[in-house]
Each structure stands twice: as C-alpha cells, then as structure tokens.
Amino acid sequence: MPLQRPKTYQPKERDLQAEWHVLDAEGQVLGRLASQAARLLMGKHKPTYAPHLPVGDYVVIVNAAKVRVTGKKLTDKVYYHHTGYMGGIRAVPLREMLARHPERVIQLAVRRMLPKNRLARHLLRRLKVYAGPEHPHEAQVKASQRRQAAPADAAAKE
C-alpha cells in the first residue's frame, strides 16, 4: 500500500478573519516600515497564509509625515509618472513629495513590495495611511483587539 502524504491546508473564504493593526511611522525608516506593512497585508505572519487568497489584515499607518529616510534619498530619490501626452514625463523629488503628500510616499513604497497582480490591488484597499496621529478606524482596531484577546481569555479559564 503506497504511503499517503498529508493534504496541504487550504483556507476557505469563510475561515478568513482580518485583524486591524496600527503602525506608527514616526522615526521609522521608510523601507522597513513598508516591508512590515506589506507582510501584514499579505498575511505572511499567519500560519494560514495562502498566496492566492486575501489572508492578510488591515493596516493603519499614522504619522506618515514623520517617516525617516536614510542616506541622500531626500534629494536623490525621484518619483516619476507620465501624463500620457508627448513629453509628459513628470519628476517629483522625495523631499517635495513628503512635504505635499506624505501618505502617497508610504503607499507607493508598500505597493511596490506587494506582488504585481489583481490580489495586490485588493490588498492595497486594506492599507490606510494618515499624515497625522489621528485616524477614523479606532472602533475597528479596538474590536479587533477584543477578538484577539477573547481566545486567550477562554484558554486561561480552562
């Protein structure tokens, strides 16, 4: 009789539970913060990770204006986009982008760390970035923390 291999676990849509995480960008290096956010969005921190499903959590990043960059990136790093017209290439240095749209700097960093597919576009909707310390997702974050604490409380009672 041939040996049977154990089946690989495949999470179902109904099994997916998204938590909420708040990351403070104040004083953190941009790339390290973005990689941490991308990991949480994809769900790689969970044992139920599946690359083809939205297993990850919601991520709220506050104090985006106070993010830190290393080296000469403030002057040397440039963001490019094209308007679609002839000669319509536009370049914005990181210093200017941080002054005008600090949220966009973090969103672009996280977007470029996600896989380039439809799932990444879905996951990016779970990323919420705010320039200041306030955010409107306090209720979701607290409910998520209560859900995380509930299984631990049940195990402690037994």
Q: Are 121 and 54 in contact (CB under 8 A)?
A: no
Q: Dump pLDDT digits (tens) for 67-84.
A: 999 999 999 999 999 999
Is residue 92 in a domain? no
Burial status of residue 118 (CB atoms within 10 A of its CB: 0-12, 13-18, 19 or more): exposed
Burial status of residue 103 (CB atoms within 10 A of its CB: 0-12, 13-18, 19 or more): middle
Domain extent at residue 22: 17-71+102-139
pTM: 0.88
CA of 31: how far to CAs of 63, 70, 109, 142, in Å?
15, 9, 7, 27
Q: Dump pLDDT digits (tens) for 101-156.
A: 999 999 999 999 999 999 999 999 999 999 999 999 999 999 988 888 877 666 66
Is residue 77 in a domain? no
Is residue 31 in a domain? yes
- Lookup result for tokens 């002839």: 86
Number of domains the chain contains: 1
- The H or E element spanning position 139 is helix 138-157
CATH number, domain of 66, equals 3.90.1180.10
Is residue 62 in a domain? yes
Is residue 150 in a domain? no
